[in-house]
Amino acid sequence: MGFIDIFRIEETVPGVASDVVFSIGAFPVTNSFLFILFIAVLFALGGAYVVKKFTLVPQGIQGGIEMIYESILSLVTSITGSQKQSKVIFPVVATLIIYIGVANLIGFIPGLTSLTYQKVSIFRAPMSDFNTTFGLAFALIVVINLISIKDFGILGYLGRFFQFRELIAGFRGGLKTGFEATISFLIGLLDIVSEMAKVISLSFRLFGNVFAGEVLAVILLGSIAYVVPALWMTLSILFGLIQALVFGALITAYYSSSVKPETVEREGH
């Protein structure tokens, strides 16, 4: 591979930041944002079409949708251990898994990401833009913490991180229990950092895998012919679906740990 080929590959490798296609006043419209709108329109049109075709006896597309529904509900239930809690979080998790899966796969449609406007690509995979994954992760962790506040109450919620009552009770029971209570108190403070780390972990996990897949696909398609790129694209499709499932499973696990354990156990019976 010569210098010219390397130069061409570098030109087509996507950058970390999304490209601005056009601006509406002071608001820049990026290609990843346009792809998000495109997918949202597809979901709306597809949903309206499928709902009209629903029958009491599942046929065709309806059968596939119900199979996906049952599979995701089974996954969520296996994590929460509660049918009722699963039904509460299921709409969010199912939407996440399907949306992320579609967003990761739709970019493989030939020619879709090659459309340009003023030499700028109109569409870019949303999950290859860190702004998208960070915003998604941040919003979900905020919602989960709000759910926790509702379940525990504001004082009970803060008590998970600032265990002053347990610390005082520990020292009243003696030096040994006081030392143990101090460790628990420090762990509670570390849980604050853990909540922030969840946002970084979720966003970087999703962004890194999708972005790396795009870069490697460009390099392989530009340097090796046919067989290896085809194999890589097949693996990319599989990894795209796995990333959607992993993201949904992690959100379910975070949700499950944000509610009272006794609530989950009681509702599970």
Q: Where are the domains of the chain?
A: 3-268
Q: Say what the pLDDT of residue 2 is.
A: 42
Better-scored residue on pLDDT, 113 or 101: 101
Q: Say what the pLDDT of residue 141 is.
A: 92
- The residues, ordered by sequence, that sit 6+ positions from 104 with a Cβ below 8 Å of its Cβ are 125, 127, 210, 240, 241, 243, 244
- Average confidence (pLDDT) over 118-133: 85
List pLDDT tens digits, range 138-174: 999 998 999 889 888 888 888 888 887 777 777 777 7
Q: Say what the pLDDT of residue 137 is.
A: 92
Burial (Cβ within 10 Å: 0-12, 13-18, ≥19) of residue 85: buried
- The residues, ordered by sequence, that sit 6+ positions from 171 with a Cβ below 8 Å of its Cβ are 177, 178, 181
Q: 3-class secondary structure for 88-153?
A: HHHHHHHHHHHHHHHHHHHHHCCCHHHCEECCEECCCCHHHCHHHHHHHHHHHHHHHHHHHHHHHC
Q: Say what the pLDDT of residue 265 is.
A: 43
Specify the DSSP class assigned to residue 155: H
Average pLDDT of the residues of the chain: 79
Q: Which residues pair with 23 in a beta bridge?
A: 28
**What's the CA dihedral at 56, 62, 68, 70 to 10 degrees?**
0
Record the pTM.
Answer: 0.76
Q: Say whether pLDDT at 104 is over 80.
A: yes
List pLDDT tens digits, range 216-257: 666 666 555 555 555 656 666 777 788 888 899 999 999 888
Q: Say what the pLDDT of residue 7 is.
A: 38
- The residues, ordered by sequence, that sit 6+ positions from 133 with a Cβ below 8 Å of its Cβ are 127, 202, 203, 204, 206, 207
Structure tokens at 243: 């990333």
Q: Say what the pLDDT of residue 11 is.
A: 46
Of the chain, the percentage scoring pLDDT greater than 90 comes to 10
3-state secondary structure of 59: coil
Q: Say what the pLDDT of residue 226 is.
A: 52
Q: Say what the pLDDT of residue 218 is.
A: 62
- Average confidence (pLDDT) over 72-91: 86
Tell me which range, 167-181, 184-198, 211-225, is most confidently predicted by mean pLDDT.
184-198
Report the C-alpha gap between 50 and 52 in whole angstroms: 5
Q: Say whether pLDDT at 37 is over 60.
A: yes
Tell me which range, 8-22, 77-91, 166-180, is most confidently predicted by mean pLDDT.
77-91
How sure is the predictor about 12, in pLDDT bands with cuts at 50, 70 and 90? low
Q: 3-class secondary structure for 157-189?
A: HHHCCCCHHHHHHHHHCCHHHHHHHHHHHHHHH
What number of other Cβ atoms are within 10 A of residue 184's Cβ?
Answer: 13
